[in-house]
Amino acid sequence: METIRLLLVDDHTIFRAGIRVLLEMQPDFKVIGEAEEGEKALSLVRELQPEVVLMDIAMPGVDGLSAARRIKETAPMTKIILLTQHENKEYLQPALKIGAEGYVLKRAAADELVMAIRAVHQGKSFLDSNVTSTILAEYCQDVKNGTVTDNRQLSEREREILVMLARGYTNRQIAELLKISPKTVDFHRARIMKKLGIKGRVALAQYALRHGLVE
């Protein structure tokens, strides 16, 4: 069984201890380090090279979103799950924009966090069920307002790039995987946004989630 190497980042010592006990009950999980703030998390990512980082958003010093953004810049293959008490889009949208693979509420059930870790380790995205409900509510409102768009107008390559963007891949990563130039990726992204009538990486991610293009 493959072991998933985990780094815990939260400024509450008792919370970290509880999460560590929970995770180490799983035979395929190994907690290799802990940090109480973002700057230390960045250092430990470089030193320990965890596969998955579980990180709080609200922390003193370098907050979770800023730390996650910097981790994605320096260690793009590291998966990030943001653990938070916030379920509104003010926090969700920046999380999607920086490329975090998971977003789990601190009040979630233990098995949901375990599922999230395994999902992102396998290259999937994971949203807390309560957050998913919020997104679905927004989708229903879009239907009511008549603003839902049809992704069938996208080419196969455009749909492929849309999914990769929604999963948090950078233009450079997409270019390397598809063996095309970053400028070509940027060109396709611009065409996708024009065809769908939406702007920005966050909106693209939300669109893909709403239409079942990513899990």
CATH code for the domain in which residue 197 is found: 1.10.10.10
| pLDDT at 136 > cutoff 60 | no
> Which stretch of 23-27, 33-37, 135-139, 166-170 has the lowest confidence by average pLDDT?
135-139
Element (H, E) at 14: helix 13-23
* Residue 44 CB coordination number (10 Å): 19
What does the pLDDT look like over 59-78, one tens digit per residue?
888 888 889 989 988 998 99
* 24 and 122 co-located in one domain: yes
Tell me whether residue 154 is in a domain: yes
* 63 and 165 co-located in one domain: no
Is 0.85 topped by the overall pTM? no
Tell me whether residue 215 is in a domain: no
Q: Tell which wins on pLDDT, 42 or 204.
A: 42
Residue 2 has what DSSP assignment?
P
User: In total, how many domains does the chain have?
Assistant: 2
CA distances from 215 to 38, 130, 138, 185 (A): 28, 15, 17, 22
Looking at 111, 135, 159, the residue that finishes a domain is: 135
* 96 and 125 co-located in one domain: yes
State the residue range of the domain holding 162.
149-210
Task: Work out the average pLDDT over 138-142.
Answer: 51
* 85 and 116 co-located in one domain: yes
Q: CB within 8 A of 123, min separation 6: which ones?
A: 167
* 27 and 105 co-located in one domain: yes
CATH number for the domain harbouring residue 77 = 3.40.50.2300
Looking at 103, 135, 167, the residue that finishes a domain is: 135
Task: Work out the average pLDDT over 17-26.
Answer: 94
Sheet holding 79-84, edge to edge: 29-35, 4-9, 52-56, 79-84, 102-105, 126-127
